[in-house]
């Protein structure tokens, strides 16, 4: 009975995104080593094919190109120096692109190209754009302002305004202040962002208070998830309502992250559930995928969905307050997916925070980067 109970406990963690076993299956074993050598799991590749409209070969080629881009990104930043305007992944060219300001020397351009990256001329440095965003972060944004982020490709700070609120006096006042802060472009968003927690319903969740969320990634001693999932009731329960552990730390708003200790017969494994495969994607690290890269999300409501990274370091203005340093994606999500895993290839990216839209009509979703969470609480990602 003890072995059966522990098997179900592992399954519960997997079904809430802390690991990767399909319902009715068993924990991953050494027999899965062959799968681990593949460029990506079958579940991840299937989701990429569906959501990004790729063939299997195209999905594999894209992951390989993105892995190369991620690897050279730190070298590119060093080579660009003070002329750096930002970086992004160009899916059409299958390479990392670097924005350099017009004052970049020929030597700087040669050094950047020597890394294998493409070069584009942009108007403003990354430092100038970050300073502009910092000025906006010090403002109080009304509800009609959805978010703001640096767009390195357009060399501007993009302020997203909810379409039906653009004539609101408070919104117009914020936009005027934003334009005075530096290079700013205003774009319109159909719907205001919201978090993706859900009330207590059946499924494959973890529960706390009257909220259902999804596990993000295993860390040694527990798992990480979204901060808004913490209802400050302390205890966390699995899909079968058995006790997992307690919230050990959380932050929301301003941030949106939390971590939960794991015990009582539960344990952690470095796997993200692919919903339909016996052993899905192993987590091997947390290298940051550049803007433009493909990224996939696993959640207890809508399971696997994929898209691309649209922006980094975006400030999202939820009704509960602004959350900073978020990453925006074209991936859809729905209530109950909060806290779930965002992964690019085999590299953990972050935990689902919120967004707008749904997985029927589409939408956008933000995640809180995983490395920030690990650093904040001194945690170590559980990797294969």
Comparing CA positions, the residue from 205, 204, 209, 146 lying closest to residue 178 is 146
Annotation marks residue 228 as catalytic: yes
Give the C-alpha separation, 124 to 45, whole Å: 37
Q: Which two tokens stand for residue 223?
A: 């798992």
Q: Are 332 and 365 in contact (CB under 8 A)?
A: yes
Distances in Å between the alpha carbon of 261 and those of 212, 242, 264?
A: 17, 14, 10
Give the C-alpha separation, 345 to 8, whole Å: 27
Cα-Cα end-to-end distance for the chain: 29
Q: Are 379 and 343 in contact (CB under 8 A)?
A: no
Annotation marks residue 338 as catalytic: yes
Instruction: Identify the active-site residue in 256, 280, 337, 346.
Output: 256
Q: Are 173 and 188 in contact (CB under 8 A)?
A: no
Residue 239 region, left (φ>0) first, then alpha (ψ -120 to 50), else beta? alpha
Place of tokens 């016996």: 278
Instruction: Identify the active-site residue in 147, 298, 330, 338.
Output: 338
Distances in Å between the alpha carbon of 109 and those of 69, 83, 273, 290, 333?
A: 17, 10, 42, 20, 40
Residues 6+ apart with CB under 8 A from 140: none
Instruction: Identify the active-site residue in 124, 149, 228, 305.
Output: 228
Q: Are 222 and 259 in contact (CB under 8 A)?
A: yes
Beta-strand pair 118-121/95-100: parallel
Give the C-alpha separation, 262 to 244, whole Å: 6
Just list the catalytic residues. 228, 256, 338
């Amino acid at each position: 009975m003890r072995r059966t109970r522990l098997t179900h406990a592992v399954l519960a963690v997997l079904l809430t995104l802390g690991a990767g076993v399909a319902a009715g299956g068993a924990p991953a074993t050494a027999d899965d080593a062959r799968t681990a050598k593949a460029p990506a799991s079958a579940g991840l590749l299937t989701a990429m094919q569906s959501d990004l409209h790729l063939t299997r070969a195209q999905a594999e080629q894209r992951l390989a190109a993105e892995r190369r881009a991620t690897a050279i990104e730190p070298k590119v930043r060093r080579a660009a120096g003070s002329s750096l305007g930002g970086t992004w992944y160009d899916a059409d060219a299958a390479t990392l692109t670097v924005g350099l300001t017009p004052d970049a020397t020929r030597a700087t351009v040669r050094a950047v190209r020597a890394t294998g990256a493409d070069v584009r001329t942009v108007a403003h440095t990354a430092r100038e754009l970050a300073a502009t965003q910092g000025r906006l972060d010090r403002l109080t944004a009304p509800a009609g302002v959805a978010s703001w982020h640096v767009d390195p490709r357009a060399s501007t700070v993009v302020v997203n305004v909810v379409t039906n609120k653009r004539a609101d006096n408070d919104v117009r006042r914020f936009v005027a202040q934003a334009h005075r802060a530096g290079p700013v472009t205003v774009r319109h968003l159909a719907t205001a962002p919201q978090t993706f927690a859900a009330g207590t319903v059946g499924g494959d969740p973890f529960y706390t208070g009257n909220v259902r969320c999804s596990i993000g990634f295993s860390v040694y001693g527990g798992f990480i998830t979204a901060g808004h999932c913490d209802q400050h009731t302390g205890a966390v329960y699995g899909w079968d309502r058995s006790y997992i552990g307690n919230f050990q730390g959380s932050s929301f708003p301003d941030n949106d992250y939390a971590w939960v200790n794991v015990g009582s017969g539960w344990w952690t494994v470095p796997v993200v559930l692919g919903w339909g495969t016996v052993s899905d994607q192993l987590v091997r690290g947390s290298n940051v995928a550049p803007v433009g890269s493909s990224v996939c999300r696993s959640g207890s409501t809508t399971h696997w969905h994929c898209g691309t990274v649209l922006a980094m370091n975006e400030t999202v203005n939820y009704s509960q307050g602004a959350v900073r340093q978020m990453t925006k994606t074209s991936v859809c999500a729905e209530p109950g997916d909060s806290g779930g895993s965002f992964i690019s290839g085999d590299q953990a990216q972050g935990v689902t925070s919120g967004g707008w839209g749904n997985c029927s009509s589409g939408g956008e979703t933000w995640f809180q980067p995983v490395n920030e969470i690990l650093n904040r609480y001194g945690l170590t990602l559980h990797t294969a």
